[in-house]
Amino acid sequence: MPKLAHSVLPFLLATTAATAQTGPGALQTIAGAQTSLVVKVHHEDADTAPPEQMLTSLPAEAWPVTNWYRQDIYDRADNKIGQILDVMVDHGGKNVAIIIGVGGFLGIGEKDVAVPFDAVHFKKKDNRWQAVINTTKETLRDARGYKYDRNAQSWVPENASGTTGGPSQK
C-alpha cells in the first residue's frame, strides 16, 4: 500500500498544481491524458451542481450557528461588551469574521464592528457556553463600524455611502 501511495501522490500534486494555475473549468493535459476539472463554489449556478450525498452523522465537534447568533459576548473579566450579530463565511465555506453590536441602548446608538472569527472563544460559566473576546468595550467602540446594506446583501463600512448605523437603523 505505501508504494501505491508514493506513486499516486506526485500525480495528485501535479494535477492540483496544474489546476490551480489554469483556473476552474479548464481542460488540462497531464502525462498525455486529457482531464477536465470544474471547481464551483456555493454562490455559482445551483442548476448544474451534482446531486449531493446526505450525512448519516454529524461531526462531533460541530456547533450550531444558534450558539453564535444573537449571543451576548463578554470580555475576560465577565463584563458584557456586545452581542454577536452575524457570522461571515467566505466562498469556500470558512468562517472568517464575526460582526459584533456594541454600545447603545435598545438599538439606539449601537455600533457594529468586525473581528476575526478566531478572536471569539467560549468558556463554560453556570453550565452554559459564554462567548468571550480578549478586548474591551472601548476598543470595540473605537473600531471601524459597519452597516448592513440590504440592497447589496452585505456588510459595508460606515460612511461608504454617507450613512452610519447598524442593523437597528436599516
- The 10s digit of each residue's pLDDT in 51-94 is 888 989 999 888 888 888 899 999 999 999 999 999 999 988 89
Strand positions, DSSP E, the chain: 27-30, 33-36, 72-74, 80-89, 95-102, 111-116, 120-125, 128-133, 145-149, 154-157
**Residue span of the structural domain in which 118 resides:** 65-162
**Same-domain status, 87 and 34:** no
**Is pLDDT above 80 for 163?**
no
Of the spans 11-20, 40-49, 132-141, 161-170, which averages the highest pLDDT? 132-141
Which pLDDT score, from 0 to 100, does residue 87 have? 95
What CATH number is given to the structural domain containing 116? Answer: 2.30.30.240
In a domain, 30, yes or no: yes
pLDDT tens per residue across span 128-141: 999 999 999 999 99
- 95, 98, 108, 109: which is closest to 73 by C-alpha? 98
Residue, of 52 and 149, whose pLDDT is higher: 149
Rounded CA-CA distance 162/42 in Å is 32
**Same-domain status, 15 and 97:** no
**Same-domain status, 149 and 85:** yes
In a domain, 79, yes or no: yes
pLDDT tens per residue across span 91-130: 888 999 999 999 877 667 889 999 999 999 999 999 999 9
Grid cell of 83 as nine digits: 452581542
* Residues 133 and 81: beta-carbon distance below 8 Å: yes
